[in-house]
Amino acid sequence: MIKNSIVLLGAGNAHLQLVRMWAMSPLAETELCLINPEWRVPYSAMVPGAIAGIYTREQAEMDLSALCGVANVRFVSAKARRVEAQAKRLHLEGRPALSYDVLSINIGSQNTLPVGWDLPEFSLAVRPLSRLLDGIDSLEKWIENRQGFAKITVVGAGAGGVELCLALRRRFAQYPKLEILLLESLETLLPHYAPAVRQHLIAALSEHGIQTQTNASVVRCDAEQLYLSNGQSIQTDAVLWATQAAPAPLLNASHLKSDKRGFVLVHDTLQSFSDPAIFAVGDCAALESHLNLPKAGVFAVRQGPILWKNLQAYLQQKPLKKYKPQKKFLTLLNTCDGKAVLSRGQIGLRGAFAWKLKKYIDGRWMEKFQNVARLKMEPETPMRCGGCGSKIPGEVLHGALSRLEIPEHPKLRIGCREKEDASVIEHDAGFEVHSVDFFRAFVSDPFLFGRIAAQNALSDLFAMNATPIHAQAIVTLPLAKAAIQEELLYQMLSGAIASLKGAGATLSGGHTSEGAELAMGFSVIGETPDAGTLFRKNAIGANQKLILTQPLGSGALLAAVSHGACRSEWYEELIYWLLCSNQSAAAVFSEAGVKACTDITGFGLAGHLFEMLEGTGFSARLYPHEIPTYSGFVDVVGQGIVSTLHEENAKWASQVAAPLRAAALFDPQTSGGLLAAVDPDRAFDVLGALKQCGYEKASVIGE
């Protein structure tokens, strides 16, 4: 019985620790959800090294899809707009609001930026860090186009601004004419650091030819110059803002009690002054007992375990612990030259030893979140796949159907015996096309699951060239308190309606029940005025070309998610195609006069192709190197990760003359693409039309 819902907004250090602790010891009767716009988040301590080229992006970032997949934490990729505390609802962009019992906010901060000014040709804020690395890549291309003749101004000489200047100098070392200027509004650089630390960092800036200027407060700017409060103007080509931390717009929109700067005001228990069910940590929070606490990641790291204990205590109605910030803490600043500066209190040291220590500490931290597979205790019985990977084997299905005596009906034109993607019923005004699909959840986000489940069900209608009218939902909800069940149902149906609406259909009803796990499906109804325009599986002809509209490999990748082996960039591509409708592809095939078509789902490419060939007297020749697969598919299969239905599908191998990338042939697809037989003289035009409609991975895979 699920009784509590915890939502973590933002993937800051404290929340990432909490997800990791959840993986090792989840709370009973509780579900955990992490919301963040990006699938990958950089570790702030390694960002200067990534900018300098010391680390790759992959080394400096944490993969949320892998971490949450192993931890059994729901991950929602969305941007939050505001918190509605009274209703306990979080409003998100582009999707329905999400309810919670307890909310924790860890969204960091952003830089104070000029408002309403003309900006130089290239202007980039340092925070949020998730956008910074992409911005630096764009800056590099911009500088290459200028052949290195550029002046970059970094505004803000705190630790972040100094590290950024040194990182840029190393990255652009091949451009000796590139100028870097660091501006600080106060009388000295690094005003909040001890003199010894300041001395070492100023020396590093000087050694690497970085110009500095203090008492340089920017009051306005235009496309070419920064204007200072002392009356000076500075010509610049690009400006990077490493200015004072400012609160994200969400905080102001949520009307939570805040400090003078706009950060969420929290008690020592990390609870908001506005609502004890809302916690805030990291840079977005202002600790009432320490209002001048610096915005530094070392505090968020220490807040993580306290937050974890207090969330549990709050749900159990027990006393909460108080967070006490450390008075002294170690900081290691990367000078990007094989050295680092060590800072602790009044101590300041610089050397290669400090860089080695920094690499060791950062590496240990990242190991906790990058090598996530070790967090997962393998069960004695492997976890069964969801989606179309949870279908029963074709052998079982065909065996059961062959034993039935199914009565005829005068209005049933196509039914079970024809083994088509949908049944066809004749009416006075035309023909109705019916199908049903249902499976266990395979993604943790219920809104996303609803969208994909509806898209998958509609695919059977498109595979028959029918026009969707309406759908009825079949839903199994896990045992949970009424409010949580209502939220799950609302999110799933909202997602489903989005897919149905996109296809010109509507939701007309449905049925719900309780069960051991989340599952959903749809009975979909479409129409056609003429049964002769319907696609049939085995209406193939000699020498026709086989065109597949979407890549293969979803079964293995979805299995890899639970193993922590599916990288976020692979997962993003997978979700893109799972949400891709087959409606436009069906229209292209219909326009080209296609007669034979099916969609590739649970039985894989081999199983569905054999269904097309059955009883026709034809065989098929596939072009192995033309069969499109998802990014990462070969990698995860190489690790021995395949769908639980893969083995059953692979029984078709006895009828395949050569391996032909066998793993791709037998991988069960969820919401897969269409496979059509196209006349050879039209295949090229059809392929071009499909690519114009967005099916860029469509391919002629055989004949």
Element containing residue 403 per DSSP (H, E): none
Please report how many Cα atoms fall inside a 13 Å half-sphere around the Cα of residue 195, on the Cβ side.
0
C-alpha pair distances (Å), 604 with each of 39, 363, 646: 28, 41, 8
Query: Cβ(100)–Cβ(90) under 8 Å?
Result: yes
Cα gap 601→611, rounded to integer Å: 12
At which residue do the structure tokens 């001395």 appear?
A: 199
Cα gap 651→607, rounded to integer Å: 9
DSSP class of residue 135 equals H
Cα gap 482→135, rounded to integer Å: 45
- Residues whose CB is less than 8 angstroms from the CB of residue 651 and which lie 6 or more positions away in sequence, other chains included: 395
Q: Which of 284, 336, 385, 388 is catalytic?
A: 388
Active-site residue flag, 566: no
DSSP class of residue 99 equals E
427-431, long-range: CB < 8 A, 24+ apart: 430/527, 430/528, 430/529, 430/530, 431/527, 431/528, 431/529, 431/530, 431/531, 431/534
Q: Which amino acid is at 34?
A: L
Query: Cβ(225)–Cβ(234) under 8 Å?
Result: yes
Instruction: Show the 3-state SS of 406-472.
Output: CCCCCCEEECHHHCCCCEEEEECCEEEEEEEEEEECCCCCHHHHHHHHHHHHHHHHHCCCCEEEEEE
- Residues whose CB is less than 8 angstroms from the CB of residue 628 and which lie 6 or more positions away in sequence, other chains included: 548, 550, 551, 552, 697, 698, 699, 701
At which residue do the structure tokens 């693409």 appear?
A: 673
Instruction: Show the 3-state SS of 560-588.
Output: HHHCCCCCHHHHHHHHHHHCCCCHHHHHH
Query: Is the peptide bond preceding residue 195 cis, with omega within 30 degrees of 0?
Result: no
Rg (CA), the chain: 29
DSSP class of residue 272 equals B
The phi and psi torsions of 102 (rounded to 5 degrees) equal -135, 135
Q: Determine what percent of the chain falls in helix, strand and coil, rounding each to the nearest 5.
A: 35, 25, 40
| Active-site amino acid positions | 388
